């Protein structure tokens, strides 16, 4: 029986209820975070909390709960669900919506109490840090048709869901998106890195790209090892000509891509620079 957190209480997930007038349900008016943990230790907790605060500020949702409050929730959910999940890799989903109002109005209502929700779920184990053993991803390509504020980690994910479904229907594990200028933005649920002429590159942050926490940690971990990452515009043609392509997210960590639209990336095998990246990430990922 999964135990969830809802508005200060811990209860079975199957019994958790919110009002149908909650703006998170009616409008997707809220933000969320997924905090990965490994052997009970959160990865990038402070960075996740900082992004959550920024998201709440951008949506003008008032939340007085500090990071220590959410750290206690994360620890409690790990403890309460330990026997059920029986996994070293666990994700903690946190969602804060603006709350429930008596009427449905597009305008922000005054003085609502935010709805706080969190639950724990088992996640796949981290990738094996061995280029000769890890399985690479096969991905599709698609034109980015989402809204213009993808930098907000909003619960309004319909565009991402539709893109992901497109990739799934094509038999792929993800879909990398490009804008009308044929420049890479991100994937439907991941950030994108490439290795081009031996240089690691990733698109710069803007309103079309989620400031992924794993993206941030990968860059900072590589810098600690003296390896620089260029944040630069990535033309679609450069992606297709890259020696290596990686996708990063809380659940994937650093996932190598070996095929795009049926064509191999580089030599079609996981690359040696990915090996350096995953080793650097594993060495430093708990320090943020």
Residues 5, 116 contacting (CB under 8 angstroms): yes
Catalytic residue list: 153
Taking every pair of Cα atoms in the chain, the longest distance, rounded to a whole number of angstroms, is 59
H or E stretch at 239: helix 236-241
Residue 87: CB atoms within 10 A of its CB come to: 18
The alpha-carbon radius of gyration of the chain (Å, integer) is: 19
Residue 286: CB atoms within 10 A of its CB come to: 14
CA distance 189 to 217: 17
Q: 3-class SS at 13?
A: helix
């Amino acid at each position: 029986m999964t135990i969830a957190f809802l508005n200060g209480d811990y209860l079975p997930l199957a019994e958790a209820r919110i009002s149908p007038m909650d703006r998170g349900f009616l409008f997707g008016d809220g933000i969320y975070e997924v905090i990965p943990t490994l052997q009970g230790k959160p990865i990038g907790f402070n960075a996740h909390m900082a992004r959550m605060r920024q998201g709440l500020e951008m949506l003008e949702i008032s939340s007085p709960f500090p990071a220590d409050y959410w750290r206690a929730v994360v620890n409690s959910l790990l403890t309460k669900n330990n026997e059920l999940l029986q996994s070293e890799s666990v994700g903690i989903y946190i969602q804060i919506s603006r709350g429930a109002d008596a009427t449905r109005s597009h305008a922000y209502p005054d003085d609502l109490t935010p709805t706080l929700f969190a639950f724990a779920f088992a996640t796949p184990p981290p990738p094996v840090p061995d280029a000769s053993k890890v399985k690479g991803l096969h991905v599709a390509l698609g034109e980015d048709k989402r809204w213009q504020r993808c930098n907000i980690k909003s619960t309004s994910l319909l565009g991402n869901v539709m893109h992901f479904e497109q990739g799934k229907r094509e038999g792929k594990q993800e879909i990398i998106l490009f804008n009308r200028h044929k420049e890479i933005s991100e994937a439907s649920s991941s950030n994108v890195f490439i290795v081009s002429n031996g240089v690691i590159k990733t698109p710069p942050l803007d309103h079309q790209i989620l400031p992924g926490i794993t993206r941030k940690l990968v860059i900072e971990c590589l810098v600690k090892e003296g390896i620089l990452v260029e944040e630069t515009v990535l033309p679609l043609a450069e992606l297709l000509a890259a020696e290596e392509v990686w996708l990063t997210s809380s659940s994937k960590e650093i996932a190598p891509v070996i095929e795009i639209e049926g064509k191999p990336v580089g030599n079609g095998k996981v690359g040696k620079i990915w090996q350096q990246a995953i080793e650097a990430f594993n060495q430093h990922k708990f320090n943020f």
